[in-house]
Amino acid sequence: MSISSNWTVRRLSGALGAEVTGVDVTAPTPELIDGIRALLNEHQVIFLPGQSPSPDAHVAFGRHFGKLEGHPNLEADSSLPPEIFQLKASRGGVADEWHTDLTFQEQPSIMSILHMVTCPDVGGDTMWTSLYEAYDGLSEPMKDMLEGLTALHDALPHNRPEQMAVHPVVRVHPDTGQKALYVNEHFTRRIVELNAEESEALLRHLTNWVKHPRFTVRYKWTLGTIGIWDNRCTQHFVLNDFEGERIIQRVTVMGDEVAGARPAQWKPWVREGRLSATSRHDRQLYFYLKSKNKLGS
């Protein structure tokens, strides 16, 4: 797919990210949408400064990429279209933990499209990390083990621990065919096939690994910028270092089908024998397996 000659594309880091000018999201054509998709597959997160679409135009633009849904657990603003999730913050109070959007759902978010409505002069930047680069940087024995594992994700940060899904630890992007490391510190609770202590150690390593500076890009927002990121191959993190109002409006494209690099190679771990004080570490996995009738007789 060729990019319009009127567009200027500036890469922002070696791992991921590009800023694109010459685009008007309020006048989307099939060629523009195809160009955005191609840039997103190449750069994973792109920024379109100087857009400032109305809420209706924002929603209309997002619909070109798929089904939109508001946030499943956070309160909506009744003055906005239901597809828009708005977050207002001052003196911090934002998503300052690395995460991929809505991985606690069976079909999580494909992509997110954010409009920076108001931003502080200093601080409140957002960082993204490339889950392709994070996977590629692992040793071959680690890759081999991880490709045979799955992980339990839940909405505990939203006070909804009953909302759970299991996804492969290593997934394959449906468009690029690349492998990505698909666990995050915000929503991922447990490696399904490992016991609690093994899972804790491995998840701590992996969720710290994706933060390595060489996998990341940091973006300083300006008023009216549109940011678009692919949730199938990135995580993001908001720096909680600002004072002054910061307002974002986001639409979320839903319907991801998470395909693993290969099927899980082992059965879910189930504690044997009598329960004890340490059984609390297995509680969430127990409830998930019970809900799916996978505990056996």
* Catalytic site positions: 99, 101, 236, 250
- How far is the CA of 38 from the CAs of 113, 122, 132, 234, in angstroms? 15, 32, 17, 16
β-pairing verdict for 245-254 and 109-118: antiparallel
Q: What's the rounded Cα separation, in Å, for the pair 19 and 297?
A: 55
**Spatial CB neighbours of 227, under 8 Å, sequence gap ≥ 6:** 45, 46, 47, 48, 113, 114, 116, 126, 219, 221
Helices (H), 179-259: 196-209
**Pick from 242, 237, 232, 233: which is nearest to 219 by CA?**
237
**Per-residue exposure over 213-238, b if at least 16 CB sit within 10 Å of its own CB, e if not:** eebbbebebeebbbbbbbbbbbbbbb
| Structural Rg of the chain based on CA atoms | 20
